[in-house]
Amino acid sequence: MAMNKIKEKNITNLEKKSEKPKEDKPERICRSCGKTFSPPANDYLGLYHDGFCKILCRTIYYTIPLRFLKIRTDKQSLLESSIDKSLFITGKAGTGKSVFMANLAVKRMTTKQGNIEWISYPAFIMKLQGAFQKDRESPFDIAENIARHYGYLFIDDLGAEKLTDYVRQITYFIINEREQRVLPTVITSNFTLQEIAEQIDVRISSRIAGMCEVLKFTGVDQRIKRQT
């Protein structure tokens, strides 16, 4: 009997010890997924400090433009059936292409393993042009790293950049690498494949047609619709 009592006492003590110390830190809303989360016992990765509920949320936040993270595409069944495909998403401005692609990228990051790369194509071209002047990483190295990225590559707004011969060359290089190495690629563009053939290079449109399923987004410009 006495032994039992001692044991019981010990257990009670242990329970008391493992009680969570009272924190004065408040709950926070994750900057990436929007869920509410409690302060962790140990924030050695600085996630709570930075405002993220988990590592993946931090990665998503720094990979995909924030504006697109906040909107849920209305094309959920198309999203489900597109998750493992290479896609060329074409349509007029404001038809929801980038929002759809961002939702797809988040879905991939949360349900599948492997890194993704997201580039805004006009900004990427400007980065290459800047690299010529800075004399650090060479523009070719930057383009090659992107072109050979082993996981999914998301290219937003192909064709929105100024179409110089240099841009045509770089675009051909990236698309050709993706096609030859059979690397998964999702592209959005205001151009149709026909327009890419006519205004950029037929060898680029031909390769995109070979490796991607084409999705054509129609409808009104949702940016204008929201304002009226």
For the record, the structure tokens of 93 come out as: 């401005």
CB of 227 to Mg ion, least distance (A): 17
User: Which residues inside 40-99 make contact with Zn ion, applying CB under 5 A?
Assistant: 53, 57
Spatial contact of 177 and 147, defined as CB atoms under 8 Å apart: yes
The DSSP symbol for 25 reads: P
Q: Residue 66 in 3-state DSSP? A: helix
For the record, the structure tokens of 100 come out as: 């759809």
CB of 118 to Mg ion, least distance (A): 12
CB of 98 to Mg ion, least distance (A): 3
Look-up: residue for tokens 């991939």? Answer: 108
Given the complex with Zn ion, which of 32 and 171 has the nearer CB atom? 32
Please give the residue ranges that form the binding site for Mg ion (CB under 5 A): 98
Please give the residue ranges that form the binding site for ligand ATP (CB under 6 A): 71, 73-74, 91, 93-99, 157, 188, 190, 222-223, 226
For the record, the structure tokens of 223 come out as: 């940016």
Q: Which of 64, 140, 49, 47 is nearest to 101 (CA)?
A: 64
Given the complex with Mg ion, which of 52 and 121 has the nearer CB atom? 121
Given the complex with Mg ion, which of 51 and 65 has the nearer CB atom? 65
Given the complex with Zn ion, which of 69 and 146 has the nearer CB atom? 69
The binder of Zn ion chosen from 10, 11, 30, 101 (CB under 5 A): 30
d(CA 192, CA 97): 13
